[in-house]
Structure 1
Amino acid sequence: MTKTILITGATAGIGAASARRFAAGGWRVIATGRRGDRLRALADELGDACLALEIDVRDVDAAAQLAQLSPPWGEIDVLLNNAGLAPPMDVLQGAALEPLLNTVQTNITGLVALTHALLPMLIERQGAVINLSSVAATYPYRGGAVYGASKAFVRQFSLDLRCDLAGTGVRVTAIDPGMAETEFTLVRTGGDQQASDELYAKMDPMTADDLAGTIWWIATLPPHLNINAIELMPVSQSFAGFAVARDQ
């Protein structure tokens, strides 16, 4: 039986790599995102295996309509909540408010609303919810207050959702990646390619394909197994030391 995965944020990075991985594995892929030109290119690449829908997860009503798709696309087995963003790395007291609220609306509000809308179908099909969190949910850094808090929400939401769904057969997983070279830093810095290149220089970061492979593994495990949470980093990344402010 052919299965279907719905992927948010499928226009680049982990989302696009996951779309390719699942299509290659014989799944139907519903690819959603904000950039229509990229979605159309992905759909052209993947052919009949892909349904591309230009949807911003911050538009709660539009996202909820995904629960009304007709079969076979409306028979969703896995929801991959991948869409997310981070505001510039300004300290909170110096940050503009709008990018912070956009982060909350994308990483939290949109994720909760879409998951809520699809749960009846996922329960009926004993499917799975896979949520992309981040190591920023655990390890704080200067300038990461709202992003880190939003990803901590995603991880805790995943654990509590698993409690709510106990006995339904639905699996729930939170994935906490570390440094993966995608467009994440480009988006965060407003398109600063040099900043992105410098961040990932000489450190062999994870790739979008690395994470897509992990997502594929989780989604295709036997249905009686649940990965509650998984944290991944490149070997070259470790944990920051404590910061100490000293009198001058």
Structure 2
Amino acid sequence: MAVFNSSRLVGKNVLITGASGGIGAATAILFAKAGSNLILLARRTDALKAVVDAVTSAHQESQVQGGGKFVAVQLDVSDKAQVAALWDKVPKELRNIDVLVNNAGFVLGMERVGDIADADIESMFATNVLGLISITQLLMRDFKARRSGHVINIGSIAGREPYAGGSIYCATKHAVNAFNGSLMRELVDTPIRVTEIQPGMVETEFSVVRFRGDKAAASKVYDGLQPLTAEDIAEEIVWAAARPPHVNIAELFVLPVNQATPTLNYRGGK
């Protein structure tokens, strides 16, 4: 796709949270191909190192002139102290962020209300909501001072329609949707862009985490249909970032062709 060679992304500084796998890693690779510089944040150091190797190769293979500066930072977005100290670990030339991709997030379990562990509730809100807000606040002061920047929040179909067994995750993604909408309205008198990408079923480690490592249970989620891939969503993220400066993709709702709602889908065979 020509968009990945767009001159609009060459030399841009892009910060991605949750960059050690899935959508975050796939997005990093596409930005690298487009000639962007990357600050990659995640909790898993070894996985981050693998992503740095992948983006380095992707940039070299693309032969794009520009960009190619990649920094990996071990960071838990739910830890406010780590977020506050982020710039101590980033070279000065990369601190003026052009695009923030708030991708870090997860879901644990399918328990119903009354049976959900307090620790699961707190950890999902701490990462999916509070962590996203903390990173955005850290960058927003600079965005406003420079009158430039783009916030891309990874929401979910769960932020549009709740479903049984997903009360806490749905609540966190509804919060992301509300935060995204409020932020866009607050910035309407600036050139700063705000986007929410809302995927449906995407086959990544997401379901494995939800089922606490049970890969067999996770794979059943996608039986009989072709889900989206991390690369599918990465293309939408990079496409949104590559629009002309006066164009803001406010919300992008992306589904596999055989899904209509969180619970309505067709499983007639892949």
**TM-score bin, normalised by smaller chain:** over 0.9
In the alignment, the residues of structure 2 paired with residue 27 and residue 215 of structure 1 have an alpha-carbon distance, to the nearest angstrom, of 14
After superposition, the C-alpha distances for 1:192-217 in whole angstroms (9 at most, x for unaligned) are: 11012111122000000000000001
In the alignment, the residues of structure 2 paired with residue 3 and residue 110 of structure 1 have an alpha-carbon distance, to the nearest angstrom, of 23
Residue in 1 that maps onto 2:250: 228
- Computed over aligned residues only, the root mean square deviation of the Cα atoms, in angstroms, reads 1.6
Residue in 2 that maps onto 1:53: 73
Change (3 A) 1:125 1:74: farther
Identity of aligned residues (%): 40
Residue in 2 that maps onto 1:246: none
Change (3 A) 1:239 1:122: same
Residue in 1 that maps onto 2:35: 26
State TM-score, norm by structure 2: 0.86
Structure 2 counterpart SS, 1:169: coil
In the alignment, the residues of structure 2 paired with residue 59 and residue 75 of structure 1 have an alpha-carbon distance, to the nearest angstrom, of 22
After superposition, the C-alpha distances for 1:43-80 in whole angstroms (9 at most, x for unaligned) are: 12323532110000011121133356443211210000
Change (3 A) 1:98 1:72: same
Which of 49, 70, 82 is residue 40 of structure 1 equivalent to?
49
Residue in 2 that maps onto 1:63: 83
After superposition, the C-alpha distances for 1:214-237 in whole angstroms (9 at most, x for unaligned) are: 000100100101111111110111
Contact 1:77 1:125 in 2 (8 A): no
Residue in 2 that maps onto 1:103: 124
Which of 142, 148, 152 is residue 121 of structure 1 equivalent to?
142
Q: Unpaired segments of 5 or more residues in structure 2?
A: 1-9, 57-67, 265-270
Question: Residue 166 in 1 paired to residue 166 in 2?
Answer: no
In the alignment, the residues of structure 1 paired with residue 51 and residue 176 of structure 2 have an alpha-carbon distance, to the nearest angstrom, of 27
Change (3 A) 1:109 1:45: same
Residue in 2 that maps onto 1:81: 102
With 217-226 and 37-46 compared, the bigger mean Cα shift is at 37-46
Structure 1 counterpart SS, 2:181: helix
With 63-72 and 155-164 compared, the bigger mean Cα shift is at 63-72
The aligned amino acid for 1:31 is L
Q: Unpaired segments of 5 or more residues in structure 1?
A: 243-248
Contact 1:67 1:121 in 2 (8 A): no
State TM-score, norm by structure 1: 0.93
The aligned amino acid for 2:206 is F
The aligned amino acid for 1:63 is V
Residue in 1 that maps onto 2:154: 132
Residue in 2 that maps onto 1:92: 113
Contact 1:67 1:117 in 2 (8 A): no
The aligned amino acid for 2:109 is P
In the alignment, the residues of structure 1 paired with residue 214 and residue 200 of structure 2 have an alpha-carbon distance, to the nearest angstrom, of 20
Q: Which consecutive segments of 4 or more residues in structure 1 shift more than 3 A? A: 67-70
Residue in 2 that maps onto 1:3: 12
Change (3 A) 1:240 1:162: closer
